[in-house]
A and B are shown apart, each in its own frame.
Chain A
Amino acid sequence: MDKESVAIKARNLTKKYLRGSEEIYAVNHVSLDIRTGEFVSVVGPSGSGKTTLINILGCLDNPTSGRLSIDGQDIFDEGKTLSERQLTRIRRNLFGYIFQKFYLIPTLNVAENIMLPFTFYRKDGAGENVARLLHLLGMEKRKNHLPGQLSGGEMQRVAIARALVNSPRILLADEPTGNLDTVRSDEIGRVLSKLNQEEGLTIILVTHNPKLAQAAHRIIELHDGHVKI
């Protein structure tokens, strides 16, 4: 895939909810392109629709209207959508997700937690990723440790490795430093930049942390569901 090709193309994406009789627009006619290998931060105040947007872009949620294509494949087109099974296939082939909480299995060690996606699905050659990611994320010496023996930053690094073990094209990170102190947040920021620069990974990062957001090539600011120009 060439570096300038569009990984995600969104047109007029809208997500509205009903609160009683009132219509709430979580995402309001958002159009954007994210290129392959781009590192994009999505910022904005609480309730601005950041998480809803990233969930729609990551095929975890359906928009109410609009169009979305990923890697040239139509995902949503004005109400028409793929089946849950097809969406799961797209999710596991294209996306890696990290969240504020790490959700590591406490009784599995670091290496086992990273390999967890293999129990459900394994891309060809993905087995070699474990050692590479342990090295890349500086967790080689901790691979036999249980999550309870790790710091918050280390746990998030394990969660990142787990998200990347099946070689996704796009990493979606929703407040990955929300549970970490400044030092650990900076550490995760450096890891994400490294992954983008060295691995060419497309990254969409939702954050409240301005310093972390600055690590991206581009910052998208949301206000009341609109992209602020």
Chain B
Amino acid sequence: MITIYKVSFKNLLRKRTRTLLTIFGIALSAWVLASLLGFNKGYEASLNKDIDNMGFQVLLTAKGCPYEAATLMLKGGTGLRYMSEDVIRQVVNEPEVDKVTPMLMQAVFDPNKGESGGFSAYLGVDPVTFPRMKSFLEFKQGGWFTRPDTMEVVMGYEAAELEQREVGDLLLIPEKEIELKVVGVLKRTGTQDDGTIFMPVKTVQNIFNKPGELTGLGIKVHKEADIAAFEEKLYGLPDVQVVSLAQVKQTIMSLVTTAKIMVFSIAIIAILIAMVGVINTILMSVFERFQEIGILKSIGAMPWDIFKLIWIETFILCFLGGIVGTGMAYGLSKLTEILIRNLLPYAPTGSLIQLDASLAGVTLIAVILIGFVSGIYPAWKAARIRPLESIRSEVN
């Protein structure tokens, strides 16, 4: 039995190349749309994950540029200023505070790193509080330090790979010519911890001659605590600055918003182009079938039947384009991610584009809706064709 859907589908097969090109155009728009929706979700999720993986919501640093502090928190890097360990005592008894963990970051130029040398970063952490705060860290080999001032290191997954070290091996600190024993290698986390070499904070203070000094103090606040009020309180401390992850996130998100607006503009243009393409294709097909549509009316088609026939053609084009485009978004998400990473001022670790069934559904529905809107004019135009006009044009 023949149905109106079959007739519409077979109509599209008449001009296969044109149909395929139109589907491809729609697919490109759907790809851009799905990727953007996935990016919108993935970027925020990755950023949140990065922030959650910090283990603390507030970082206290010595006074300096807040952007440097933000970068320090998220990307690692050397601490430019130092603050006294006394700050721990000033903070730890505040009612909002759940846990604190002191940190001292140092970097040393290693001439043997890479082709022309590079910096190796060492993060001094407290063997008691740091592991508790970063409870998600898991070991591939070994474990944390045995004593607070021991000459031991724990290596992030990538750091261990780069240095080709395993538990039991020794690690030389360039310039200082001191060797430390590797006691643990972490599993991959997808964060900056992968490239970090952890040492007890006391050991770093001793080796780098920074007694009683810290570059940061991570503060984990109670869940119910008012972080904003707590931050205000911390500003009362001398010579420190407060970098809350809410601020970091806001700073980065404001940078990213600009990029997002640009990319969404491109998406809107792509969608508009696809819409014009659909209107053009269907309208051309309607004009080509002017007489035939008149004949269909003479054999019993009501205007709504013709409207439906043409509208279904648009629906099929957009549905197929949407499916292909969403598939492309899934299949090419790695490539899209690389492109987006190059565009963004800061990209968090983890997957930037997170596509799931609901996003695919939203994309498909959006593309189909766009198709329905695009199909209105050609379908209306076709529905208005009078049988007599087509028959007259046949006679002529």
A and B physically associate: yes
Which residues of A does B touch, CB under 8 Å?
A: 51, 55, 58, 60-61, 84-85, 88, 91-92, 95-97, 99-101, 103, 105-108, 112, 115-121, 162-163, 166, 174
Asked if A92 and B300 sit within 8 Å, CB to CB, the answer is yes
Q: Residues of A contacting B6 with CB < 8 Å?
A: 112
Cα A206 to Cα B80 in complex, Å, equals 98
Chain B, 376-396, CB within 8 A of any chain A CB: 387-388, 391, 394-395
The answer to whether B391 and A115 have CB atoms under 8 Å apart is: no
Nearest A residue (CB) for B299: A117
Interface contact B300-A166, CB-CB below 8 Å: yes
Tell me how far the C-beta of B238 lies from the nearest C-beta in chain A, rounded to whole angstroms. Answer: 82
Cβ-defined partner of B2 (8 Å) among A61, A97, A108: A108
Instruction: Tell me which of A88, A115, A174 contacts B297 (CB under 8 A).
Output: A88
Residue of B nearest to A174 (CB): B391
**CB-defined contacts of B300 to chain A, threshold 8 Å:** 88, 91-92, 117, 120-121, 166
In the complex with contacts A88-B302, A106-B14, A107-B11, A120-B1 CB distance below 8 A: no
**Which B residue's beta carbon lies closest to that of A54?**
B391
Residue ranges of B at the interface with A (Cβ–Cβ < 8 Å): 1-4, 6-7, 10-11, 13-14, 291-292, 295-303, 305, 309, 387-388, 391, 394-395
Partner of A61, one of B7, B13, B388: B388
Q: Which of B14, B297, B303 contacts A107 (CB 8 A)?
A: B14
| Chain B residues within an 8 Å CB radius of A118 | 1-2
Interface centre among B11, B13, B305, B395 (most CB of A within 10 A): B395
Q: Which residues of B contact A108 (CB under 8 A)?
A: 2, 7, 10
Closest to B306 in A: A120
A105–B391 CB distance below 8 A = no
Closest to A118 in B: B2
Q: Which of B309, B388, B394 contacts A99 (CB 8 A)?
A: B394
Asked if B10 contacts A101 (CB within 8 A), the reply is no
Closest chain B CB from A81 CB (angstroms): 13
Contact of A119 among B2, B13, B295, B387 (CB under 8 A): B2
How many angstroms between the C-alpha atoms of A55 and B10 in the bound complex?
Answer: 30
* A/B pair count, beta carbons within 8 Å: 80
Q: Which residues of A contact B7 (CB under 8 A)?
A: 105, 108, 116, 119
Q: Are B2 and A51 in contact (CB under 8 A)?
A: no
Residue of A nearest to B7 (CB): A119
Decide: B302 and A99 in contact? CB cutoff 8 A. Answer: no
Of the candidates A61, A84, A103, A107, which one forms a contact with B295 in the assembled complex, judged by CB atoms under 8 Å apart?
Answer: A103
The answer to whether B2 touches A115 (Cβ under 8 A) is yes
- A55 contact set on B, CB distance < 8 A: 388, 391
Contact sample, A vs B, 20 pairs, CB 8 Å cutoff: A60-B387, A88-B297, A97-B298, A100-B394, A101-B291, A103-B291, A103-B295, A105-B10, A105-B11, A108-B2, A108-B7, A112-B6, A116-B2, A118-B1, A118-B2, A119-B7, A120-B299, A120-B301, A121-B300, A121-B301
Q: Are A101 and B296 in contact (CB under 8 A)?
A: no
Contacts known (A51-B395, A99-B295, A99-B394); A120 close to B10, Cβ less than 8 A: no
By Cβ-Cβ distance, the 5 closest A-B pairs, closest first, are: A92-B300, A107-B10, A121-B300, A120-B301, A103-B295
Shortest CB distance A31–B (Å)? 22
Q: Which A residues touch B309, using CB under 8 A? A: 119
Known pairs A97-B295, A99-B295, A103-B295; list 17 more (Cβ under 8 Å). Answer: A55-B388, A60-B388, A88-B302, A91-B298, A99-B391, A101-B291, A108-B7, A108-B10, A116-B2, A116-B296, A116-B299, A118-B2, A119-B3, A119-B4, A119-B7, A163-B299, A166-B299
* A60 in contact with B391 (CB, 8 Å): yes
